[in-house]
Amino acid sequence: MPDSIDFVLPWVDGNDPVWQRRKRAALGTDLSDDREERYRDWGLLRYWFRGVEAFTPWVHRVFFICDQEPPSWLNTKHSKLSIKRHEDFIPAEYLPTFSSHPIELNMFRIKELSEQFVYFNDDLFVLKPLRQTFFFKKGLPCDRALLNPLPSSDLVGKGTKARIFTIPLNNAEYLNRDFSFRECFKRAPLKWLHPCYGKNLIRNLMLCAWPRFVGFDEPHLPQAFLKTSFTEAWEQDYDIFDATSRHALRDDHDVNQWLIRHRQLAQGRFIAARPIRNAFFDVTHHDITAVEAVRSQKVPVICLNDGGISDTSFDQMCKELSNAFQMILPQKSSFEK
């Protein structure tokens, strides 16, 4: 049986005028990614809590990172809920911040956080009952070491949207600085060529011939972490984590929590798990398939990523997704007043 497992969830209300004024004061560099969809609230947060209570009742504690007043409906006195402001765990020299990267890279500093924890974004939801072993087995994160080349074409012709694609490139640079792929592969070849990867084995087999880490497939789903993985990473790569943490907004030179995940994979600090398919939706228009995915509960977890959908379609999708969640999770959770 796994030890205590915590969940960590950062959240921001992008419509909060006080928060907006603070954010505007931090603007001023053309390297920053300040797109509206980074902060838009889909109004689905209560269903995140309902899903956690209904489908993962074994969770030890939920750390809700909120650098403003929490939602009025949230039961802040819940025994499993711990609300953390940025100043509660992020060093003062990195504040204020309006980027997810400093939050992600410093969340291990939450003193009460368990060694085993799962990091969520507020667009990630649990849709069906899950055991603890979905995230951890034998004290190790369950993950998928799926290699995937990083195409430089992702950086061309996308304007500010290209900036998200610099992050995997930065991550790969630092991972290769610290680890030899060939040595990592030799230590645990089955973790890279595990049968549970299915057809992804073909790509892994081809890319294993390359002497360096070429990049990874990023599932954009809840991520299992060991707290010590962050501590060790900061000790080895203080320069890049410190530099990223000093950026109040997203910057071309940043790394993010994916680098910690990649280090866990490189160290063999994971249990190979079957890939989760058809669980990521980049919502760029009115997309009934995302609504049906929620309603059908065919996948255990889902990502509903704001891909820059227009305001009209955004309002419509918010309503339809809310109705779909209400259908599968109609009862208020104890996290709600």
Report how far residue 248's alpha carbon sits from residue 90's, in angstroms, rounded to the nearest whole number. 12
Strand order in the sheet with 140-143: 136-137, 140-143, 271-272
CB 300 within 8 A of CB 294: no
Q: What is the pLDDT of residue 313?
A: 87
Find, among 194, 257, 263, the residue nearest to 221 by Cα: 257
- H or E element, residue 272: strand 271-272
CA 72 distance to own-chain centroid:
25
Q: What is the pLDDT of residue 252?
A: 87
Report how far residue 282's alpha carbon sits from residue 264's, in angstroms, rounded to the nearest whole number. 26
Strand 271-272, strand 136-137: pairing:
unpaired
CB 8 within 8 A of CB 89: no
Q: What is the pLDDT of residue 17?
A: 83
Domains defined for the chain, CATH in brackets = 5-138+220-255+266-328 (3.90.550)
Q: What is the pLDDT of residue 162?
A: 47
| Residue 232: both structure tokens together | 């060790």
Which residue type sits at 269? R
Report how far residue 302's alpha carbon sits from residue 125's, in angstroms, rounded to the nearest whole number. 5
Q: What is the pLDDT of residue 40?
A: 73
Q: What is the pLDDT of residue 31?
A: 45
Q: What is the pLDDT of residues 15-26, one digit of tens each?
A: 788 888 888 877
Q: What is the pLDDT of residue 152?
A: 65
The residues of the chain scoring below 70 in pLDDT are: 1-2, 27-39, 152-164
CA Rg value for the chain: 19
Strands (E), 129-173: 136-137, 140-143
Q: What is the pLDDT of residue 151?
A: 72
Supply the pTM of this predicted model: 0.93
